Chain A
Amino acid sequence: MPAELALYSDRLFFAAVVVYVLAMVLHGGEYSRRRSTRAAALVGAGAAAEVGPTPDEGPPAGDGGAAPGPRRDPAERLGRMAVALTVLGAGLHLASIVLRGVAAQRWPLGNMYEYTSMICLAAVVAWLVLLRRSPASRPVGLFVLLPVLILQFLAGTVLYVPAGPVVPALQSYWLSIHVTTIAASSGLLLVPGVASVLYLVRRTGRSNAVLDRLPSASALDRLAYRTTIVAFPLYTFAIIVGAIWAEAAWGRFWGWDPKETVAFVAWVVYAAYLHARATAGWRTGAAAWINILAVAVMIFNLFFINMVVAGLHSYAGLG
């Protein structure tokens, strides 16, 4: 029975990846449709003698060119479908994680595969919540799903391990609190990282089909900041819980183990980001760079420290 459940969990994981890919494709379509709609409008206006709109060009030229109604605009429709698929993907993803836990009969965060999967889910859920609050940022979805999919791909291939039990040090209820909150905050922090990158690109003032559909630079900046101020306290909490657990499991609450050290470094860089946001002259560009640096440190901690440096945290299960 558990073996079967584990198999279903893997299938759901795969299904979630496929659905996320589809969502990305639709988001991509959202960008390209916008361009073709605009092109159609220009063609329609220029060549009045043409016999009607071309069949696959979506709405008639007049409609597309003037104020496009939200219903009719194909870009809008694609975008909405992309979001719907993202929700579906998140549902499948969650089911995959839950089944994995049932199959292994423990909290499903015992190795890097499970951990990375959880980070991805956290990122997607964070993104969906953000989207509810500011629907206008929807086109950013493409760029949120991109790192999520890369991580999912790595999780499903390089990091994958079959469902199984964990070593004694991990058999503690602290695992569920510490690792879940760390994964959740890491996932959450992925979103501001993406927003800050887009912000820096948008700020250059360049214009093309993709950039023009993104929210304004200041909206992206706000997106990054607002998410960080939720994720940062959560991350702080997760580190504190980790220290409490380390006190029980390893004999000291803080020992500068490589994983702890880099977590500390990331924390300090995020603190620097918050400071930069409150320091004249650093508030915009520099702050965004610091935010990107911080998320880079988080990812570095996830992969490099787990896989290359040996430490107490090396529970990756990568043998």
Chain B
Amino acid sequence: MSPQGSTGELVSDWSLLERVVRKDEAALSALYDRYSGLVFSEAKRILRDAGAAEEILQDLFYQVWRTAERFDAARGSLAGWLLVAARNRAISRLRRKTGKTEELDENGVILRVDLESVAAQNVLLDKVRGVMGSLPEGQRQALELAYFEGMSHTEIAEKTGQPLGTVKTRIRAAMETLKQVLR
């Protein structure tokens, strides 16, 4: 359930994050309730392992608790950061890569859509799935291999037997369609 203020309005991510900076556990709890499902589902989709996805989920929200003051509303969205950070950590784990995660890099994520309530998430979920379902098979496959499997365009070209240029074009075209529909 989305956290609401005393007058029934939705409390924004940044208001909650400001409270997390002041070490307000209820605010972190509200953010967790808001985004844990999305973060967990994404990590599990990549890793196909609920235990590993739960570890990533816990670590990410622990990082939010420890470093909330570093998030900069001007540089992007918390929901975006959570989704990109979850994806990067899951892919690193999937490909057994080590090394420091780029915190600042991940912080720069701008979401032009609302994900702050379950209702908004549901609407967007249908929309994005609709777009992905409508893409030509080759475009959808190339984009999913990159995002969920962490494969580079070269690896996708090798796996699918398609020329490198075709793979690049397909990924760009799929992203462009997503952008046009969500605009």
Task: Please determine whether chains A and B interact with each other in the same assembly.
Answer: no
